[in-house]
Amino acid sequence: MKQFILNAPPNSDGMVHLYGDDYHYLVRVRRLKAGSVFTALLPGGGETRVKILSTVDNILIGECQGEIPQDLSPLPPIILFQGLPKGTKMDLIVRQAAEGGISEVVPFESDYSAVKVTSGMEAKLRRWERIIREARQQSGSAIATAVRLPCTVKGLLEYWESLKQEHPGGAGILLHQDPLEQGSFHGYLYKKPSIVVLAVGPEGGFSPAEAGRFAASGFKPLTMGNTILRTETAALYGAAAIRIILLESASWAPLTPKPISQPVNG
């Protein structure tokens, strides 16, 4: 279901002022006018009803009528650590993450990244934030997906350490191009972790040194089948698998070994 997301929270008086594309969408496309009430998502999550007071001079002035209680997501936060890919692939990854209800996307410069972290990343961050807003409005996702400025592997693992402090019992999964360990999504997720972080490399995957650093920080390696996926496919595939497994966790359980029957004497 399509939804409208406020770019900024209401002011201290509960008022919002919308113009430009937002004004055009609400007044010209949806044909709302003074006295109309519409539902909007707040930037940081939550929902509110907005009563339109005026649409004069191409500015919509609205009054928020309190926050609507929402059912909390039954899932733990799912965070994507994504190695910076080439071209516009990161735009696609960010869009898919927002549509898929991923809580946060953290781009990072990997050993094999063709794109390096530079001082001009703020413009990319603003574009990714626009992509997220558009994707959430189109898909109806209630998860307020966030995206961070790209960082180095060192900064990424420092952030992972802070996440572990904040969410004891979290799970870190490293999608790797080589079968380093015979793990599985179900095996890593059946204990219902408090947070799940998925790390995906850029084109070429992770270097052996990087894989070692992730393993030392608690990430568990995982290879999906016997094919090598593109980085943008791996991110979508892995995040979708995690979300579906967690959503359906009530309907499955890990296998337990059957007891060995004892021979009957006689």
238, pLDDT greater than 70: yes
Could you give the 3-state DSSP secondary structure of residue 231? helix
The rounded distance, in Å, linking the Cα atoms of 161 and 207 is 21
Q: What kind and span of H or E run contains 37?
A: strand 37-41
pLDDT at 261: 58
In the block, tokens 């270097």 appear at 207
Q: Residue 103 above 60 pLDDT?
A: yes
Please give the average per-residue pLDDT across 27-38, as a whole number: 93
Q: Which residues contact 54 (CB under 8 A, 6 or more apart)?
A: 34, 60, 61
* Structural domains for the chain: 4-68 (2.40.240.20), 78-251 (3.40.1280.10)
Tell me, what amino acid is at 224? M
More confident residue, 227 or 111: 111
According to DSSP, the β-strands at 15-18 and 37-41 are unpaired
Q: Are strands 60-68 and 15-18 parallel, antiparallel or unpaired?
A: antiparallel
What pLDDT is recorded for position 187? 85
* Residues in contact with 25: Cβ distance below 8 Å, sequence separation at least 6, in sequence order: 4
Average pLDDT, the chain: 88
Given pLDDT bands bounded at 50, 70 and 90, which one contains residue 88? very high
- Torsions phi, psi of 99, nearest 5? -65, -30
- For the segment 173-179, the average pLDDT, to the nearest whole number, is 81
What pLDDT shows up at residue 227?
A: 76
pTM: 0.80
